[in-house]
Amino acid sequence: MRNAFGRRRRGRLSAILLSALLLATGCAGAGAIGAGGQTLVIAIVANPQMNDAIALSDQFERDHPGIELKFVSLPENQARAKITASTATQGGEFDVVMISNYETPQWADNGWLENLQPYIDSTEGYDADDFIPSIRESLSDDGDMYAVPFYGESSFVAYRKDLFQQAGLTMPQNPTWEQIAGFAEQLDDPANGVAGICLRGKPGWGESLAPFSTVVNTFGARYFDEDWNAQLTSPEFKEAANFYVNLVREHGQTGASSAGFTECGTRYGQGEAAMWYDATVMAGTNEDPASSTVAGKSGYVSAPVNKTDASGWLYTWSLALPKVTENKDAAWEFMRWMTDKQFVQTVGEEFGWNRVPPGVRQSTYEIDEYTEAAKAYAQPTLDGIREANQDNTMTEPVPYPGIQFVGIPEFQDLGTRISQQLSAAIAGQKTVDEALEQAQEYAETVGQAYRETQ
């Protein structure tokens, strides 16, 4: 009796286990496809231009039989977390990583990245001299490039010409922040779902802190003085922070504290904002009818200023080769493909010229189709990138490199925490002063470490 009972139960148990086994082996069988040949794992940031590159990647695989590409494509914060952890511990999960001009010089110094100069020099027709000089320099260490740029950007303002005309307003070529705040107030139209301006509020040093830091700079404030004393509670810093927070709270987009580059892009593209201060690369997306309902309605002017002549940032998403990568030659083949002149042509022809990765190759700006499609923003982009250096965008000397970031390793942590405080202030959970006092404490700890080692 007992036994019969037990056997019946056991039968059902084995049925369950068996079905689980079948399921798993079935899957494993499918997963074995493509096991042969070389596989490159590429960690990449999920911005529109990169997504286009992923979409085109079967062309690369077709031309390079034997190389299979796998992309790990994540939003900026998550991508950065994975890429930095992997590179810093020499984890080797990724064969090619997408990083910026913040990481490149530091990581090159640490010996984590392969020097790309030999690869560049031995690749015929790659033409590294075609890169815009300031971009190339930002990725170089002792004259050798350690990353190759995919796209480059400064920051500027997009505004809706139609809305400005309706309201009888004129946007100057070089606006001040006072003027921008005035326009935002007049154009803010919650009833019709149009915000005066879209500004990033999402935490992350590469998110809200980028535009915010340019405001800090042009208001004459700085994160650290020359002796690494944190300056986040200085009157200038407070003025800048209050200005930014009040502007976005009063006339900014809804859900501002969680809106980053992509979110603002979607809003502006859907006609939900009259102005948008952000990376110059946004223009391509704004002008692409496939992703934007306001294509052709925007004008572009330089980054707004207060006490300086310019205030745009300098940034580039670029591809680097970790030292621990095994298939370096195959990896370089891919990097070359994605940053080549030919790639620009391919994107232009396949997806349209507004979707070309901008701000990197001077030759791009000599392509007739491109200058025609990008006439609203090509020149402001180039001007912005050219003027983006500390002399033009800051009033006071600082002990660190970088415009919209503090070029020290600790800034990933510090910047993220400061940006959280900023977001809390934007969400109205804290006053600006409270947020800055907490942020000052964080910064002081970092500054102290540098004061001691000096």
Partner 1 sequence: MTTTEVAPAPAGRGAEQPAPRRHASPWKRRAPLLPALIFTIAVTQIPFLVTVFYSFQSWNLVRPGSQYFVGFQNYIDVFADSTFRTAMLNTVVLTVVCVFVSMVLGLGLALLLDRKFTGRSVVRTLIITPFLILPAAGALLWKTAMFDPVHGLLNFVFGTDIDWLSAYPLGSVMTQVIWQWTPFMTLLILAGLQAQSKEVLEAAQVDGAGRWRTFASITLPQLSRYLQLAALLGAIYIVNSFDAIYLMTQGGPGTASTNLPFYIYQRAFEGFDVGQSSAMGVIVVILTLIVATFTLRLMFRTFDVSGGVK
Partner 2 sequence: MRLGRISLTAFTWLVAILFVFPVIWMVLTSFKTEADAYTDPPKLFFTPTLEQFAGVFERGFLPYLANSGFVTLISTLAVLLLAIPASYALSISPVKGTSNVLGFFLSTKMLPIVAAIIPLYVISQNLQLLDNVWALIILYTAMNLPLAIWMMRSFFLEVPKEMIEAARVDGAKLPTLLYRVVLPVVAPGIAATALICVIFSWTEFFYAVNLSAARAGTVPVFLSGFITSEGLYWAQLSAAALLASLPVMIIGWIAQNHLVRGLSMGAVK
Query: Contact residues for partner 1 (CB under 8 A)?
Result: 77, 80-82, 84-85, 88-89, 106, 110, 201-204, 254-255, 257-258, 409-410, 412-414, 416-417, 420-421, 423-427, 429-430, 438, 441-442, 445, 449
Interaction between residue 451 and partner 2 (CB under 8 A)? no
User: CA–CA separation, 351 vs 339, rounded Å?
Assistant: 17
DSSP for 87-109?
HHTT----SEEEEETTHHHHHHH
417, two tokens: 């925490």
Name which of residues 279 to 338 contact partner 2 (CB under 8 A): 291
Q: Find residue 41's DSSP bridge partners.
A: 70
Residue 445 binding target from partner 1, partner 2, none, CB below 5 to 8 Å by type: partner 1
Residue with tokens 């940034």: 315
Q: CB–CB of 139/267 below 8 Å?
A: no
Residue 40 or 113: the one with the smaller Cβ distance to partner 1 is 113
**What is the smallest separation between the CB atom of 332 and partner 2, expressed in angstroms?**
19
Q: Which of 105, 265, 322, 359 binds partner 2 (CB under 8 A)?
A: 265
Q: How, if at all, do strands 298-302 and 155-160 pair?
A: antiparallel
Q: Which of 61, 64, 93, 242 binds partner 2 (CB under 8 A)?
A: 93
**What is the smallest separation between the CB atom of 98 and partner 1, expressed in angstroms?**
16
**What is the smallest separation between the CB atom of 446 and partner 1, expressed in angstroms?**
9
Residue 397 binding target from partner 2, partner 1, none, CB below 5 to 8 Å by type: none
* Torsion angle of C-alpha atoms 48, 53, 57, 58, degrees rounded to 10: 60
3-state secondary structure of 35: coil
Residue 80 binding target from partner 2, partner 1, none, CB below 5 to 8 Å by type: partner 1
Residue 306 binding target from partner 1, partner 2, none, CB below 5 to 8 Å by type: none
235-273: b (≥16 Cβ within 10 Å) or e: ebbbbbbbbbbebbbebbbeebbebbbbbbbebbbebbb
Residue 202 binding target from partner 2, partner 1, none, CB below 5 to 8 Å by type: partner 1
Contacts of 264 (CB under 8 A, 6+ apart): 198, 199, 200, 253, 273, 276, 278, 282
Q: What is the x/- site pattern for partner 2, positions 7-46, by CB under 8 A? A: x-xx-xx--xx-xxx-xxxxxxxxxxx-----x-x-x--x
Residue 18 binding target from partner 1, partner 2, none, CB below 5 to 8 Å by type: none
Q: CB–CB of 251/197 below 8 Å?
A: yes
Rounded to 5°, the CA angle 259-262-266 comes to 90
* Contact footprint for partner 2 (CB under 8 A): 2-3, 5-7, 9-10, 12-13, 16-17, 19-21, 23-33, 39, 41, 43, 46-48, 70-75, 78, 82, 85-86, 89-94, 262-263, 265-266, 291
